[in-house]
Amino acid sequence: MAPRALIAGNWKMNMDRVSSEVLASALAQNVGSVAVDLAVCPPSVYLSPVSVVLGSSGVALGGQDCHTAQNGAHTGDVSPEMLADLGCTYVIVGHSERRTDHGESDADIRAKTTAALAAGLRAIVCVGESLAQREAGETLAVIAAQLAGSVPDADPAALVVAYEPIWAIGTGKVPTTGQIGEVHAFMRAQLRDRFGEGADAIRLLYGGSVKGANAAEIFAVNDVDGALVGGASLTAADFLPIVAALDAA
């Protein structure tokens, strides 16, 4: 049996405390009985107030990153155990902005994923190619290397993989459904080679300029089990139509 579809909102370094609470409240009040899993990933400083607002609504909480250690002299970092202590269920690891801005390698991301799973979190592992790599025909080779290097041997049910082509993040550019389908089918095949039939428990999300206007088309693609949404997750008016599209898929 395939796992429930998942949509996760990555708020990145946006919002303030009041707007975070207002958005969390709107989501908690309007998700109703949707038959999909829903999570939001606020900035770490707002995890606690957002958690209080979400309460028992069924909307899960996630972190945007984590350290590999449980504790220690790591100024400014947040451990997976801290996230779990605040009520997080998920954590994003390996987002292209972390890979680029902070120089994170596949090995770094694999270590973070392992630490997150050990803390009882579900890890959303991000992979994706640059525009130069896409134009050079290197997309599948890049994805294969990132999957092999970033995803540890672990319980497949605790893993989520998000395909986010770097050139589509926040640009308004969206791959064709054929391009999305090709990458998602490839990822599923790669994961089945490693995990066998258990790979079908790994939810494969698409991320990159997902909006209410294109969500239904994207969710109709085989092996797309949901979405990791950035800019369109910052308001209920933009985010809820995407949730509705996944619920109807």
Backbone angles phi, psi at 158, to 5 degrees: -95, 0
Residues 21, 81, 97, 164: which is the catalytic one? 164
User: Which of 69, 59, 52 shows the shortest CA–CA distance to 33?
Assistant: 59
For residues 15 and 9, give the distance between their C-alpha atoms in angstroms, rounded to a whole number: 13
HEC string of 31-51 equals CCCCCCEEEEECCHHHHHHHH
Q: Distance between CA atoms of 108 and 149, rounded to whole angstroms?
A: 9
Domain ranges of the chain: 6-248
Task: Tell me, yes or no, if 95 is annotated catalytic.
Answer: yes
- Pick the catalytic residue from 95, 97, 104, 184: 95
- Give the chain's end-to-end CA distance (angstroms, integer): 17
Please work out, in degrees rounded to the nearest 5, the angle formed at the alpha carbon of residue 57 by the alpha carbons of 53 and 60. 80
- pLDDT, position 179: 97
Strand runs labelled E in the chain? 6-10, 37-41, 60-63, 88-93, 122-127, 159-163, 203-206, 226-229
Each residue's pLDDT expressed in tens, for the chain with a length of 249 residues: 568 999 999 999 999 999 999 999 999 999 878 899 999 999 999 999 999 999 999 999 999 999 999 999 999 999 999 999 999 999 999 999 999 999 999 999 999 999 999 999 999 999 999 999 999 999 999 999 999 999 999 999 999 999 999 998 888 888 999 999 999 999 999 999 999 999 999 999 999 999 999 999 999 999 999 999 999 999 999 999 999 999 998
Answering whether pTM is above 0.75, one says yes
Pick the CATH number of 6-248 from 3.20.20.70, 3.40.50.300, 3.30.360.10, 3.10.110.10: 3.20.20.70
